[in-house]
Amino acid sequence: MNLHCKTLTAALWLGFSPAAGGSGDDSWSMQVQAEVRGMDGYPVVLPCTFSHPQHSQHSLLQVMWRLGHGSAAAILYRCTSRPGAATCEPNPQQDQRYRLEGNPREHELSLRINGATLQDNGRYYCRVEVQGREHVSFEDKMGTRLRVEAPPKILAMSVEGGGPAGFTAVCRVQGSPLPDVQWLGPDDPLEGSSLAPSQALGSPGRYRTISQLRDVQPGQRYTCSASNPLGREQAALFVLAPS
């Protein structure tokens, strides 16, 4: 696991590209990474650096990170860097999961997300504003695509139905990439059917799938096996005979 995490960390710093979108002085520039991959439950860093005219060193700076673009965007982090200050002061209500990795006075705006989750998947935008005699701003227009991945996790198993229709075993699974699900019977693999996951961007259902196994028999044991490139998880249930 340690080797895998180190590989992810090294990948964070590859593939930088300049981002356009300034107002004011032409000497502004900003660099972000097109895509960052992270692991569910681990911290992840979205790199962002910028350069600016020397006179802004004596100005008040405001830093902002957004998830999404346009009217639907959510402001995740905002802080103010005052001249001579060693840190960028966030708002009192700031979510502590987010913090800057560096000092804006040193042109470093990278955002750290602690305990990344699948719901953090999306495109993030970095912005800095200089408030002084002339209010100027610079924003990353490309965005950084964050892809949080997770090994399979079986959320729940149950048996539904009964009567003439028979019994159906149900296995609810989460993971990214979306796991493949197989059913194992007492002797051989069995053919199940999957329900399409929700496609709503950012919703938990986007990373979940439901697999059904019809005509399960009382007194038998059935195993749900979920796998993706990050791992495999199995869980079993025993179908009790109706009393």
Single residue among 102, 125, 142 that ends a domain in this structure: 142
CA 216/CA 242 separation, integer angstroms: 13
> Which structure tokens are listed for 102?
């560096």
Do 75 and 171 lie in one domain? The reply is no
Provide the residue-wise pLDDT of the chain in tens; the chain has 243 residues.
333 332 222 222 323 334 445 544 456 788 999 999 999 999 999 999 988 765 556 678 899 999 998 888 899 999 998 887 778 899 888 999 999 998 888 889 999 999 999 999 999 999 998 876 667 788 888 899 999 999 999 999 999 887 777 889 999 999 999 999 999 887 777 776 666 554 333 455 689 999 999 888 888 899 999 999 999 999 999 888 776
Residue that is written with structure tokens 């028979």 in the block: 166
Number of folded domains in the chain?
Answer: 2
pTM above 0.85, yes or no: no
Is the residue at 178 inside a domain?
Answer: yes
Helix, coil or strand: residue 233: strand
Is the residue at 172 inside a domain?
Answer: yes
Do 171 and 200 lie in one domain? The reply is yes
Do 97 and 69 lie in one domain? The reply is yes
pLDDT in the model for residue 193: 64
pLDDT in the model for residue 226: 95
> Which structure tokens are listed for 116?
């990344």
Residue 178 CB neighbour total at 10 angstroms = 17
Written as one letter, the residue type at 84 is G
Do 136 and 173 lie in one domain? The reply is no
Residues contacting residue 228 through CB under 8 Å, at least 6 positions apart: 151, 152, 175, 176, 177, 178, 179, 180
Written as one letter, the residue type at 221 is R
Do 87 and 178 lie in one domain? The reply is no
Residues of the domain holding 199? 150-238
Contact 149, 35 (CB under 8 A): no
From residue 41, how far is each of 114, 119, 143 by CA, in Å? 8, 11, 23
Backbone angles phi, psi at 86, to 5 degrees: -85, -15
Residue that is written with structure tokens 């992840």 in the block: 44
pLDDT in the model for residue 12: 27
pLDDT in the model for residue 19: 46
CATH number of the domain residue 127 falls in: 2.60.40.10
Do 107 and 66 lie in one domain? The reply is yes
Which DSSP helix (H) or strand (E) runs through 9?
helix 2-11
Backbone angles phi, psi at 196, to 5 degrees: -65, 135
Single residue among 142, 166, 190 that ends a domain in this structure: 142
Is the residue at 243 inside a domain?
Answer: no
Single residue among 107, 142, 177 that ends a domain in this structure: 142
